[in-house]
Structure 1
């Protein structure tokens, strides 16, 4: 993608709308929608790197109640011709066509590579990557197994299924990531280790992830950086690339 003069690429992650309750998250949702309204003025594209919702499960003809302001604003943005890209996180693994069909937003379940103005980006949510975290990796295989998803949707009424999913998202530490929301030191950051391993295969200028809920800007070598976008719960941080430089900013 060649970024037009005066335009920018925006990145955000980890809003966890609906947590701990829809009422409590409503002010955060309104703040995020206000941000979307501002950045659409000069956005060449917007990347949302997962966990927009604290729990999201799509049945064949049912989607979660709520988040009307966010979904409406995203529809407005894509209808205006600004592309939006979505990467599923560990709280919204179960997206299954709604964003693509209703909002014209491509949804990615694995990290992807992009090039903007000859600058290379490796972009993803970040869960289940790098060394360790074996308990969550096993759990993710179960959650994404087609048979398990089919049984969940067929055996549980959506009202009951959504209640269970929301409870698990808040209470299960392997899913919620509460234990991860502190800096471990560069040598112990597993996403840093993952990025360094990927650099041995191929150069990328920027590795952009969410999931950690921490705004991080770490130099991997002389010409490559790892960026974590933080969250919209405590930090309200986002990334912006103007075609030359990448910055983490606070809203």
Structure 2
């Protein structure tokens, strides 16, 4: 990692989401953003749900996303560390990105020291203790025998099934809860509990499709990265401060 460059964070792009009608436009926009940051990026953190659905078969990779995969591979080939956190939509990421693109895949939260600051990094799914339904569901999705059984399905059927599931998600319902209060959120409460025994400078997460940069105390900030559905947002850290930015104010729906 170059000490002179910037650290970029992005989450919840949901490439290929069947519930959305502007997938090509969003993909081109995200590709454009990746092109622009390559001039000053020192390290890139893809914080989960970059793809709306992903499953690694041994001999088959999901169709599409060529522009994005190519740009990520080019960054990694140039020596830029690229980290990919599995989210609740792309948790079935096994070894394809690591072997083909040179990306480091993280399947759970990590503590990372970046430019002298301690970061807690996670997509955020499963950290809200009140979300018992999803916590149970995640145990099913990450069960090895069940993953093996799913891999026995023909990809055409498996992906059709997954896309039907995704199409019924909150992406299609515009269910963003305008009364959202970050310090009442379960992920924030997890961070507050964690902070009692583990000093951290920044908690950086996605998952909520919200932008937030909330001070927890004099030293610690809680960051939600937003998404590339409504906000087209990302985080950038220069070693001194963490900023949330928007690449474009909007893209047509």
Tell me the residue number matched to 2:105: 107
1:117 is displaced (CA, Å) by 2.0
Question: Does residue 166 of the first structure (1) align with residue 163 of the second (2)?
Answer: yes
Q: Distance in 1 between matches of 2:123 and 2:172?
A: 14
Structure 2 length as normaliser, TM-score? 0.93
SS in 1 for 2:7: strand
Measured against aligned partners, the alpha-carbon deviations of 1:94-134 in whole angstroms (never above 9, x if no partner) come to: 00100000000010011111112211100010001032010
Q: Which sections of structure 1, spanning at least 5 residues, go unmatched?
A: none
Structure 1 length as normaliser, TM-score? 0.93
Q: 1:221 aligns with which of 210, 213, 217?
A: 217
Q: 2:185 aligns with which of 185, 189, 211?
A: 189
* Count of equivalent residues: 247
Q: Distance in 2 between matches of 1:159 and 1:100?
A: 24
Tell me the residue number matched to 2:135: 137
Tell me the residue number matched to 1:207: 203
Tell me the residue number matched to 1:29: 27
CA contact (8 A) 1:183 1:214 kept: no
More helix by share: 1
Measured against aligned partners, the alpha-carbon deviations of 1:176-213 in whole angstroms (never above 9, x if no partner) come to: 89646645324421111010011012110000000000
SS in 1 for 2:69: helix
Measured against aligned partners, the alpha-carbon deviations of 1:194-249 in whole angstroms (never above 9, x if no partner) come to: 10011012110000000000011111112101000000010001000001110000
* Cα 1:181–1:59 shift into 2, 3 Å: farther
Q: Which sections of structure 2, spanning at least 5 residues, go unmatched?
A: 248-253
Question: Does residue 234 of the first structure (1) align with residue 217 of the second (2)?
Answer: no
- RMSD of aligned Cα (Å): 1.8
